[in-house]
Amino acid sequence: MKWINNEAPPTERVLQLEQKLGIPTAVATVLIQRGISSFDLAKTFFRPSLDALHDPFLMLGMSEAVARVFSAVTHNEKIMIYGDYDVDGTTAVALMASYLQTLTSEVATYIPDRYSEGYGLSSTGIQFAHDNEITLLIVLDCGIKAMEQVEEAKALEIDCIICDHHLPGEELPKAVAILDPKQEGCSYPFKELCGCGIGFKLIQALALEQGHDITSLMPYLDLVATAIAADIVPLTGENRILAHYGLEQLNTAPRPGLELLIQNTKKKRLQLSDLVFIIAPRINAAGRMQHGHYAVDLLCSPDKDSALPLARAIELMNSERRLTDEKITQEALEQMPDLNTEVSTVVMQENWHKGVVGIVASRLIESHYRPTVVLTASEDTLVGSVRSVRGFDVYEAIKACSEHLIQFGGHKYAAGLTMEKTNLVPFREAFEAAVIERILPEQLEPSMIYDTSIVFKEITPKLYRILQQMAPFGPQNMRPVFHTRGVKDTGGTKVVGKDQTHLKLEVTDFSGVSFSGIGFGMATHISQIKSQGSFELLYTLDENEYNGQKNLQLKVKALRFTQ
């Protein structure tokens, strides 16, 4: 793995910020690297405020959307909330439905079946709306390319409001209103909201029209934070504010369905990473293994009694999902040896579970670092998920292969696609060619970026306390990674864990200060460490609590021996 040092800012700028804010050098360095170079910017960063959220009416189409919703409420029309089956979609549907139910009782929800309907606005969903006399469809986290489906709805006298965050095509659906900051002509200042975030801007606008303060929407931010975490959007701008307050809501007064999932984590206080690795997979498991409506019903449950059976069912689905993706990953890895000369991976088996192929694609990249497509059969076609490596735009590569596809969609790092079975070989060849044409040699090499080099003497409770205030962490605001040279074992380093694969480090460096650390999956280094050789570490800082005592520890991300 290649280690990449973030560009060091000029020393005088670091010193100025250090003095202005009264912070350690390492923190000042990291802040400037992230574009926070003044007192005012630091104040905004460290003290996120709901008042700093943009006026939702700056978003193109918002006035039309709000007018149509209030018209439907006034005339007692039936409204259906439609969304994708992933975390972003199901949280968006739960958010919109639970808010609109405070205005009208005529609200229904709909999540398409992953297997029979596939991604996006479906004809089946539109027909369901028509059969149930629905006249307004609010589509969340999808729909920006649903030209035919919106026309189909119009023909049945159903109006559509589309709330999407994906890149639009050249043509837009003829909806009553389209809310997507990425559409041409939209001057909304923040472009990186997730689908649930777009839904939140709509309910913010509805609340404003009724004269309600932004604080009245706090109960909905637990859903927004969950979606932000799961959808891996940049933790800057509005996303940072919404995630900050959403985490506060999750840690103090979460909705009943989320509270039951949180209880299973046994965490005293959730961080955004807990949403990514613990909460989101459970919500996703519903759509992957059975149906996304289980997730929506859980998130909309008014009390724990109604939420409990749903939470239990979702836990079982998640256990099944975990076993399934482990099995399929192993089967996929068995196909890999034949592909070692290629710069892309395309694997297929017709009986693989459609709900986990995206997870499997991500796991394959961990072992074979290159853009990856995992395909399975769906009736007469092949469907699949695409995942990318750092810096490579896999969506553009898929787009270059569109002649072999029935449909595709996604973004830079993840996409989905459908093709005829007969197109597997030509697609594989076209995808390989598209990747070769676009990928840089360094993008095929796994890398780890670190922020700055420090000595152990600089690691103090004050440093850790300020670093914690930089949370929530995520894309474009990752947890700071530090580098230290000249590290040596003090004699206490040992192998730990049930399967003896982890390292419990007891180390010191040139500054003479000692620290404990944990290195997951690093037990193979034990003999070299014990030989008293000098090595380097990349790590984040963590707090370990044992027997009521809290101590700072190193959470080791990479280790290499000095040449």
Structural domain ending residue among the three candidates 405, 422, 444: 444
Max Cα–Cα distance, the chain, nearest Å: 79
Radius of gyration of the chain (CA): 25
Is 130 inside a domain boundary? yes
Residues written for the chain: 563
Is 303 inside a domain boundary? yes
Is 156 inside a domain boundary? yes
Q: Where are the beta strands (DSSP E) in 289-348?
A: 345-348
| Whole-number pLDDT of residue 452 | 97
In this structure, are 430 and 458 located in the same domain?
no
| Phi and psi at residue 461, to the nearest 5° | -55, -35
First-to-last CA distance in the chain? 15
CATH of the domain at 353: 3.10.310.30
DSSP 276: I
| Strand order from edge to edge, sheet including 134-140 | 107-110, 78-83, 134-140, 159-163, 177-179
What number of other Cβ atoms are within 10 A of residue 506's Cβ?
Answer: 15
In this structure, are 475 and 369 located in the same domain?
no
Is 506 inside a domain boundary? yes
- How far is 274 from 286, CA to CA, in rounded Å? 18
- How far is 56 from 61, CA to CA, in rounded Å? 10
- How far is 466 from 389, CA to CA, in rounded Å? 31
Is 462 inside a domain boundary? yes
Residue with structure tokens 């006249």? 135
Q: Where are the beta strands (DSSP E) in 277-424?
A: 345-348, 372-378, 381-387, 407-410, 414-420
Structural domain ending residue among the three candidates 420, 444, 468: 444
Asked if 283 and 260 touch (Cβ cutoff 8 Å), the reply is no
For residues 89-127, one letter each, b for 16 or more C-beta atoms within 10 angstroms of the residue's C-beta and e for the rest, the string is bbbbbbbbbbbbeebbebbebbbbbbeeebbbbbeebbe
Asked if 536 and 562 touch (Cβ cutoff 8 Å), the reply is yes
Is 243 inside a domain boundary? yes
In this structure, are 401 and 471 located in the same domain?
no
Is 36 inside a domain boundary? no
CATH of the domain at 486: 2.40.50.460
In this structure, are 465 and 373 located in the same domain?
no
pTM of the prediction?
Answer: 0.91
| Whole-number pLDDT of residue 336 | 78
| Phi and psi at residue 52, to the nearest 5° | -85, -5
Is 250 inside a domain boundary? yes
Residue with structure tokens 């940072």? 240
In this structure, are 339 and 361 located in the same domain?
yes
In this structure, are 334 and 436 located in the same domain?
yes
CATH of the domain at 252: 3.90.1640.30
| Host H or E run for residue 252 | helix 237-252
In this structure, are 438 and 452 located in the same domain?
no
- The CA distances from residue 457 to 24, 50, 260, 422, 514, in Å, are 12, 38, 42, 62, 9
Structural domain ending residue among the three candidates 316, 337, 355: 316
Question: Tokens in use for 111?
Answer: 């999540």
For residue 403, what are the domain limits? 327-444
In this structure, are 298 and 426 located in the same domain?
no
| Whole-number pLDDT of residue 563 | 64
- The CA distances from residue 357 to 15, 198, 372, in Å, are 49, 27, 11
In this structure, are 171 and 285 located in the same domain?
yes
- How far is 56 from 63, CA to CA, in rounded Å? 9
In this structure, are 340 and 253 located in the same domain?
no
Calculate the CA 26 to chain-centre distance: 28
In this structure, are 125 and 111 located in the same domain?
yes
Contacts of 460 (CB under 8 A, 6+ apart): 24
Q: What is the DSSP string of 74-129?
A: HTT-EEEEEE-SSHHHHHHHHHHHHHHTTT-S-EEEE---TTTT-SSS-HHHHHHH
3-state secondary structure of 239: helix
- The CA distances from residue 426 to 103, 309, 399, 445, 539, in Å, are 53, 47, 14, 27, 44
In this structure, are 177 and 114 located in the same domain?
yes
Asked if 248 and 266 touch (Cβ cutoff 8 Å), the reply is no
The total number of structural domains in the chain stands at: 3
The upper half-sphere exposure of residue 260, i.e. CA atoms within 13 Å in the direction of its Cβ, equals 23
Per-residue pLDDT of the chain (563 residues; tens, 9 = 90+): 889 999 999 999 999 999 999 999 999 999 999 999 999 999 999 999 999 999 999 999 999 999 999 999 999 999 999 999 999 999 999 999 999 999 999 999 999 998 888 888 999 999 999 999 999 999 999 999 999 999 999 999 999 999 999 889 889 999 999 999 999 999 999 999 999 999 999 999 999 999 999 999 999 999 999 999 998 899 999 999 999 999 999 999 999 999 999 987 778 889 999 999 999 999 999 998 899 999 999 999 999 999 999 999 999 999 999 999 999 999 999 987 655 678 999 999 999 998 899 999 999 998 899 999 999 998 889 999 999 999 999 999 999 999 999 988 877 888 899 999 999 999 999 999 999 999 999 999 999 999 999 999 999 999 999 999 999 999 899 999 999 999 999 999 999 998 999 999 999 999 999 999 999 999 999 999 998 779 999 999 998 887 778 899 999 999 999 76
| Whole-number pLDDT of residue 337 | 62
